Structure 1
Amino acid sequence: MPGDTPKISIRGLEKAFNGKPVLRGLDLDLAPGRSLVVIGMSGTGKSVLLKCVLGVIQPDRGRIAIDGVDIVRLSESRRARMTRQIGMLFQGAALFDSLKVWENVAFRLIYGERRPRREARQTAVDCLAQVGLAPEVGELSPAELSGGMQKRVALARAIAAEPSILFFDEPTTGLDPITADVINSLISDRTRALGATAISITHDLVSARKIADEIAMLHQGQIIWRGPASEIMNTGNPMVDQFVHGRADGPIHMTMRRA
């Protein structure tokens, strides 16, 4: 049945850099409309996973299917068309300093979809309103915004084209706890409003539990645990427990010393 097809399906994904394996046969399915947060130590391949799905990095082996279509084997132009349904909130917001805020939000609409600037500007204003920013903010430059406001603008840009898939890369990094909670709430609200499928990367477990339906832990290039967000602090998996409780001693440390 069509409803049984995962929105994103990954099988046997492998990627190495300079002979060093990063992703080692990773398997992952995500149903439409679900939100998954991927956690794990730095250098375990979390960002590489997202970049492979985006088409920024070409995997060495494996299958990445969106709506049942393996995008790895598509031509560059067809892959680009498939990945247009992905909206991305980059770590650090990654706004263009030379553009006004509304132009940042509307960047994909203007330069990717060739929409008229007047139409794109109105969409940008509407998206800014959805993340709690007034129309006049659209006329400012990114340098005039606080870190929290920049994250809101980045979220508005991510949702501007009404994507069916959303990626969030460390969305609350550098924010104070209150501002981070506001961003988490906006991410949850906007993802649900779009009915989008979401994959997020974060080291912030408070954020992870708030925005995720499920959490998966990536270690040595493979998913070692996956389950409901409500169970993350009590998984019974010694590697996951060590990570979420921030313990120096444990199986992850021992594995690293033997490597």
Structure 2
Amino acid sequence: MSQTPKIRVRGLKKSFGPKTVLNGVDLDIESGESLVVIGGSGSGKSVLLKCILGIIQADAGSIQIDGEETLGLRGRERERVMRKFGMLFQGGALFDSLKVWENVAFGLIQGRGTAKDEARRIALEKLAQVGLGEAVSTLSPAELSGGMQKRVALARAIATEPEIIFFDEPTTGLDPIMADVINDLIVACVKELGATALTITHDMASARKIANKVAMIYEGRIIWHGPVERIDASGNDHVDQFIHGRADGPIQMQVTRP
């Protein structure tokens, strides 16, 4: 494809002391694509996402956003790139001291300098988009159920109408029905924005619902990458074991015995 990918990762490496977590990750995400990265615990999913976001500094490689190298960007240059991003954190990561609408409007007020009245109007609009009414807007996060907190976090992620949205384990801690509701909302919100989405998850039901493309990370590398409809016929034993949740196979989980 001749078009410049929205996100292009090449040779990305990251170690923590003697432990190598990313060992040469190559990945392209096209504009408007919804890519889900799957993999077991400790496979490097979260570190990959945090390196692309700039939360963690990679040791080597390249991370291009819209063709611009971002590895090593600092200060205002990093902030300029960050304005393209929205993020749904694992667990929601809402501010306990702020009302719901203030949580949703946080990036608008703090990051964009939006006037408070306008930010509140946008926050209410985004809350409505995820199925929450104005009555919820004045509550504190502690007064909400887990599913409602996740909806508020999604509203916050889309409030600045970002070009790229990151979803970190979006269904963790939710029952299967609420997880499916969140998956449907993610699909609808990403489509409405025309955004590019990168999701990391170990939840295959979520991956199948959200993704156009799926990539699997194992031992710090992408070992398979393709359309979601081809994942059941990937021809990769690691992928096959993971998506069917089998204990036996090439992926050996480390179990500490007493």
| Bucket of the pairwise TM-score, normalised by the shorter protein | over 0.9
Residue matched to 2:148: 149
TM-score of the superposition, structure 2-length normalised? 0.96
Q: Which runs of 5+ in 2 are unaligned?
A: none
Residue matched to 2:201: 202
Q: CA deviation at 1:249?
A: 1.4
Residue matched to 2:168: 169
Q: Aligned pair 1:182/2:191, yes or no?
A: no
Residue matched to 1:34: 33
Residue matched to 1:129: 128
Moved more, 175-184 or 71-80: 71-80
Q: CA deviation at 1:25?
A: 0.8
Residue matched to 2:231: 232
CA distance in 1, matches of 2:72, 2:88: 26
TM-score of the superposition, structure 1-length normalised? 0.95
- For the residue of structure 2 that corresponds to 1:185, the secondary structure is helix
Please report the RMSD computed on the Cα atoms of aligned residues, expressed in angstroms: 1.4
Aligned ranges for residues 27-106 of structure 1 at < 5 Å?
Answer: 27-106=26-105
CA distance in 1, matches of 2:31, 2:90: 24
Residue matched to 1:193: 192
Residue matched to 1:222: 221
CA distance in 1, matches of 2:212, 2:195: 13
CA distance in 2, matches of 1:133, 1:182: 13
- For the residue of structure 2 that corresponds to 1:191, the secondary structure is helix
CA distance in 1, matches of 2:7, 2:204: 23
CA distance in 2, matches of 1:75, 1:140: 36
Moved more, 195-204 or 76-85: 76-85
Q: CA deviation at 1:46?
A: 0.4
Query: Quick check: 2:57–2:72 contact (8 Å CA) kept in 1?
Result: no
Q: CA deviation at 1:26?
A: 0.5
CA distance in 2, matches of 1:100, 1:131: 17
Query: Which one-letter code corresponds to 2:29 in the other structure?
Result: L
List structure 1 segments (4+ residues) > 6 angstroms apart after TM superposition. Answer: none
Query: Which one-letter code corresponds to 1:109 in the other structure?
Result: L
Higher helix share: 1
Query: Quick check: 2:238–2:251 contact (8 Å CA) kept in 1?
Result: yes
Q: CA deviation at 1:111?
A: 1.1
Query: Which one-letter code corresponds to 2:251 in the other structure?
Result: I
Q: Which runs of 5+ in 1 are unaligned?
A: none
